[in-house]
């Protein structure tokens, strides 16, 4: 949980430095049903945008594991911004070398 708090605080600080008003909320949940929790919080909180990290699963992994981010995006009362980390560079490339 500490790592998530640090990541959210860093993102908040970066956006605030650019003049963007940001409020963050971090919820800990052991239930498998993440989407309804996020949607309910957004409604109660009066959120105008939900920003979610996603692993970007495709194919069978997505079918078997489901996609909380997709379910939230489909059922959210407000816009949803999905953020996926860029794919890691292959180990044999050198920094700054053309891809």
Q: How far apart are CA 4 and CA 98, in angstroms?
A: 33
- Digit-by-digit pLDDT tens for the chain (99 residues) are 678 888 888 888 998 999 988 888 887 778 768 889 999 999 998 999 988 877 665 555 444 445 788 889 889 999 998 887 666 545 555 555 555
How is the chain split among helix, strand and coil, in percent rounded to 5? 45, 10, 45
Tell me the domain boundaries of the chain: 1-28, 31-85
Choosing among 3.30.420.10, 3.40.50.620, 3.40.50.300, 1.10.287.3510, the CATH entry for 31-85 is 3.40.50.620
Paired tokens of 83: 């953020």
Judge contact between 16 and 22, C-beta under 8 A: yes
């Amino acid at each position: 949980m500490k790592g998530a708090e640090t990541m959210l605080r860093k993102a908040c600080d970066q956006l605030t430095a650019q003049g963007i008003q940001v409020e963050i909320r971090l919820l800990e949940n052991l239930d498998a049903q993440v989407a309804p929790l996020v949607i309910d919080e957004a409604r109660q909180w009066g959120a105008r945008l939900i920003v979610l990290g996603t692993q970007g699963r495709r194919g069978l992994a997505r079918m078997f594991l489901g996609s909380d981010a997709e379910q939230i995006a489909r059922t959210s009362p407000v816009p949803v911004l999905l953020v996926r980390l860029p794919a890691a560079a292959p180990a044999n490339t050198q920094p700054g070398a053309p891809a």
